């Protein structure tokens, strides 16, 4: 029986990976922080749980030991936090996983990167050959650092695949649908870019691709953008989401440069005051919702035979159905 480790197993992507691996009869191990609420559930499911910190190499190595496959999905994904935490988790944690994979001679590592590594707000088109863009955003810059770390360890001899998901959505998402739905419900939202692109991938479709990245011979030492292939504008997204939660979509447009500058001021003030709660707006959030690039994810289709099994229409329907089972007071709790 193949043994698989999933890091970040209590997160949105990681939890769906665990469920898929269990469904496909893998022996599953997870690495989660001590005291994580998911521990009891996973133990009941027969998952081998390692309670540890991705920043601690010995704890990571212990979890990686005897695994054939490792999915590294653990990351600090927020748009707010200290640069030290972003560096220690997204770069240092990834280095620990890669070093453990190298020492333990693990057959394959799948690293979950992000399309935020690319300058999708200014470029017209991105694919896997597009150069990374450091933009002074802690999350995207440290995901670049994590990805470059994996590339360095591929050069040292590990077998790894790198996947760059666009916006990931579906039941259980605590970032995209619930947070924007909460803002729409409170009538506090506005646009700052006309017809910004919303490039999304439904969670089941992403997990399909991640499984192929872990098992397909052609995926070894390759990189793949993960996108369902159907664009919508951010206005269309907000209109559909607002209709689904019985709210009104935004109608006000403010200049992008003004909003970006305002977000920077908020970040500075919150930083000076050492506030733990994220600002109402951050530069990363403003940038992320002002995308213009066409995402070319044809490589996964061409090389691995991947295609999205769940359509955008169906994925949107399932996600709205799930969201409406959640108390609206909990929509903005990440």
Three-class secondary structure of residue 325 per DSSP: coil
Task: Show the tokens assigned to 283.
Answer: 């530069």
Q: Residue 160's domain is classified under what CATH number?
A: 3.40.50.720
pLDDT for residue 334:
58
pLDDT for residue 280:
81
The three-point CA angle 57-62-64 to 5° equals 90
pLDDT for residue 273:
84
| 79-119 per-position pLDDT tens digit | 878 899 999 999 999 999 999 999 999 999 999 999 999 99
Indicate the average pLDDT of the chain: 94
- Residue 50: its H or E element: strand 48-51
Location of structure tokens 């030991």: 65
Location of structure tokens 């605590």: 174
Q: What is the chain's length? A: 334
Residue 239: is it exposed, middle or buried by C-beta count within 10 angstroms (0-12/13-18/19+)?
middle
CA distance 97 to 177: 31
pLDDT for residue 136:
85
Residue 78: inside a domain: yes
Q: What range defines the domain where residue 304 resides?
A: 3-170+199-229+293-309
Residue 156: inside a domain: yes
pLDDT for residue 177:
93
Looking at the predicted structure, is the pLDDT value of residue 333 above 80? no
Q: How many domains does the chain have?
A: 1
CA distance 133 to 118: 5
| 129-185 per-position pLDDT tens digit | 999 999 888 999 999 999 999 999 999 999 999 999 999 999 999 889 998 999 898
Residue 127: is it exposed, middle or buried by C-beta count within 10 angstroms (0-12/13-18/19+)?
middle
| 233-289 per-position pLDDT tens digit | 999 999 999 999 999 999 999 999 999 999 989 988 988 888 878 888 888 889 889
Three-class secondary structure of residue 219 per DSSP: helix
Residue 225: inside a domain: yes
Residue 251: inside a domain: no
Q: Rounded to two decimals, what is the model's pTM?
A: 0.95
Residue 246: inside a domain: no
Residue 123: inside a domain: yes
Residue 178: inside a domain: no
Q: List the alpha helices (DSSP H) in the chain.
A: 12-23, 38-44, 57-64, 83-86, 93-104, 138-156, 176-185, 203-215, 234-244, 256-272, 283-288, 298-304, 312-323
Whether the CA torsion 330, 71, 225, 208 is positive or negative: it is negative
Residue 274: inside a domain: no
Partners of 267 in the β-ladder = none
């Amino acid at each position: 029986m193949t043994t698989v480790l999933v890091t970040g197993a209590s997160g949105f992507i990681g939890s769906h990976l665990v469920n898929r691996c269990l469904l496909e009869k893998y022996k599953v191990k997870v690495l989660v922080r001590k005291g994580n609420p998911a521990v009891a559930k996973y133990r009941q499911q027969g998952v081998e749980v390692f309670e540890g910190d991705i920043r601690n190499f010995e704890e990571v190595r212990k979890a990686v030991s005897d695994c054939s496959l490792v999915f590294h999905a653990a990351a600090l994904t927020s748009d707010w936090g200290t640069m030290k935490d972003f560096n220690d988790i997204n770069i240092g944690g990834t280095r620990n996983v890669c070093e453990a994979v190298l020492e333990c001679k693990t057959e394959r590592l799948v690293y979950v990167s992000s399309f935020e590594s690319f300058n999708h707000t200014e470029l017209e088109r991105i694919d896997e050959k597009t150069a990374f863009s450091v933009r002074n955003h802690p999350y995207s810059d440290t995901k670049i650092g994590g990805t470059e770390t994996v590339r360095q360890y591929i050069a040292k001899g590990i077998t790894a695949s790198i996947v760059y998901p666009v916006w990931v959505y579906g039941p259980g998402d605590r970032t995209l649908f619930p947070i924007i739905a909460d803002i729409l419900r409170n009538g506090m939202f506005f646009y700052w870019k006309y017809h910004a692109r919303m490039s999304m991938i439904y969670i089941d479709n992403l997990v399909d691709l991640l499984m192929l990245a872990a098992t397909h011979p052609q995926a070894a030492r390759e990189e793949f953008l993960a996108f369902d292939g159907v664009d919508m504008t951010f206005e269309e997204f907000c209109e559909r989401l607002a209709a689904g939660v019985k709210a009104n979509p935004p109608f006000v447009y403010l200049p992008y440069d003004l909003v970006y500058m305002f977000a920077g001021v908020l970040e500075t003030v919150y930083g000076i005051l050492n506030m733990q709660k994220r600002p109402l707006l951050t530069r990363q959030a403003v940038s992320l919702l002002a995308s213009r690039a066409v995402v070319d994810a044809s490589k996964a289709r061409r090389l691995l035979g991947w295609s999205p099994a769940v359509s955008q229409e169906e994925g949107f329907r399932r996600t709205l159905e799930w969201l409406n089972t959640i108390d609206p007071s909990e929509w903005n709790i990440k």
